[in-house]
Amino acid sequence: LDVEGKDTAILGNAVGQVAVISSQESAILWKRPLSLEDIIPYLDADFILVEGFKAEKTFPKIVCLRGEPDDRDLFDSLAICAVFPPSQGSAGWEGRALDVPLLARDEISRIADLVEREAFKLPNLDCGGCGRETCYEMAREIVAGTASVEDCVSLQPATEVRIDGRPMPMNSFISGIVRSTIVGVLAPLKGFKKGKIEISI
């Protein structure tokens, strides 16, 4: 889509973002890096497959082994399985202490079952509401089975805000501000009473 010399590229060099719409597909090109948290709200899917993003520490990972010395660096306590190319076989890895299931890449059904059972995404707020300093610490414990996604305070707020049907993660401080602001505006109105408040915009 972003081919040098074409209208899209020329416009993209002049502005911060360009929307490309055709009868068969659409795309938005941002001329700046975006985080997963920025992109995910635009995706309508039960599961999102993320390739790369080795520095991200808020979701479980499937390690794709390549048979190289730096394979070991791919394990950061978030791996739920390791997969190897069927053409190479598992012999080169079976002797290693991987601490996760070792599967062939063509074992799609087993990998899918594992993803359905183990997938989660923490909000990357590092709010400390769960008692850990970072979401990475919480993610490691969830993968290890010593914590649960339900332990994430930001994903279980007393105040819930949904954008296009998707919950917006908020730490307890922001959740409190949103709640106090809404109650403060509505409380003086005739007919207000304590209870569940629903607002649709």
Domain ranges of the chain: 7-42, 60-119
pLDDT tens for each residue of 105-164: 889 999 999 999 999 999 999 989 899 999 999 999 999 999 999 999 888 777 888 888
Question: Over the chain, what is the mean pLDDT?
Answer: 83
What is the pLDDT averaged over residues 166-189? Answer: 83
Q: What is the pLDDT of residue 47?
A: 92
Q: What is the pLDDT of residue 32?
A: 80
pLDDT beyond 70 at 91: no
Question: The tokens of 115 are what?
Answer: 């993803």
Distant-in-sequence, close-in-space partners of 186: CB < 8 Å, separation ≥ 6: 192, 197
Q: Mark residue 184 as left, alpha or beta (left: phi above 0; alpha: psi -120 to 50; beta: remaining).
A: alpha
**Helix (H), strand (E), coil (C) string for the chain:** CCCCCCHHHHHHHHCCEEEEECCCCEEEEECCCCCHHHHHHHCCCCCCCCCCCCCCCCCCEEEECCCCHHHHHHCCCCEEEEEECCCCCCHHHHCCCCCCCEEECCCHHHHHHHHHHHCCCCCCCCCCCCCCCCHHHHHHHHHHCCCCHHHCHHHCCCCCCEECCEECCCCHHHHHHHHHHHHHHHCCCCCCCCCCCCCCC
Q: What is the pLDDT of residue 90?
A: 62
What is the pLDDT averaged over residues 29-53? Answer: 85
Q: Mark residue 145 as left, alpha or beta (left: phi above 0; alpha: psi -120 to 50; beta: remaining).
A: left
The type of residue at 117 is: R
What is the pLDDT averaged over residues 171-182? Answer: 83
The residue among 100, 99, 117, 106 whose CA lies nearest residue 84 is 106
The type of residue at 180 is: S
Q: Could you tell me the pTM of the whole model? A: 0.70
